[in-house]
Amino acid sequence: MISAGDFRNGITIELDNNIYQIIEFQHVKPGKGAAFVRTKLKNIKSGGVVEKTFRPTEKCPQARIDRKDMQYLYADGDLYNFMDTETFEQIALNQEEIGDAMKFVKENEMVKMCSHNGSVFAVEPPLFVELEITDTEPGFKGDTATGATKPAIVETGAQVLVPLFVNQGDKIKIDTRTGEYLSRV
């Protein structure tokens, strides 16, 4: 149990049969009346954000989130298959459970599975990936004064905006959190 007076950013709590992560918190002591804690909570499973106030002495159970490294094996229609590299146990998750997390991940790459009480609610891809460009239009020489970008398709099928000097067949580094081009490799 954690009291509202001990809230910090990033802590996960259980509230109303849901798991929330504290995005923002603020201790408020008005001139008249009792102090309170104003928070912004993100529902980990649905992604929704709610605002809630607590008395500083209120207690909430702290949620334990397990993160485990697993290897992405392959996609079979709507199912994504993963394997625990220690026990060789395999699990399959459907597209709705994963969302957009796998659009930059190649087969046989390691990902983190986030679970609470044994049920997986999210897949975290590596922060940065190196992928080859399979399709893009050629850039024009000298057309770089404005820092212009062009769309490119990478080997996983995702679309990324890249600078004009990047060509088909180049390997690039991508930030998976934002989907932005970082550099050529």
Residue 123: what pLDDT? 84
Residues 6 or more apart whose CB falls under 8 angstroms from that of 13 comprise 2, 19, 20, 22, 41, 60, 61, 62, 63
Residue 45: what pLDDT? 76
CATH number of 66-124: 2.40.50.140
Q: Tell me how far apart the alpha carbons of residues 36 and 74 are, in angstroms, rounded to a whole number.
A: 49
| pTM over 0.75, yes/no | no
Q: What is the CA radius of gyration of the chain?
A: 22
Query: For each of the chain's 185 residues, which pLDDT tens digit applies?
Result: 888 888 888 888 888 888 888 889 999 888 888 899 999 998 887 778 899 999 988 898 988 888 889 999 988 888 888 998 889 888 888 887 777 778 888 888 899 888 888 778 778 888 899 999 998 888 766 655 667 888 899 988 889 998 888 888 889 999 888 888 988 88
Residue 142: what pLDDT? 61
Residue 50: what pLDDT? 92
Whether domain 2-60 has CATH 2.30.30.30: yes
At residue 18's C-alpha, the angle toward residues 12 and 22, to 5°, is 30
- Do 57 and 3 contact (CB within 8 A), yes or no? yes
Q: Which of 10, 1, 120, 128 is nearest to 66 (CA)?
A: 120
* Multiple choice CATH, 128-184, 3.40.50.920, 3.40.50.2300, 2.40.50.140, 3.20.20.140: 2.40.50.140
The string of DSSP letters for 72-108 reads: EEEEETTEEEEE-TTT--EEEEEHHHHTTTTTTPPTT
Residue 51: what pLDDT? 93
Domain boundaries, the chain: 2-60, 66-124, 128-184
Residue 143: what pLDDT? 58
Say whether 128-184 and 66-124 share the same fold. yes
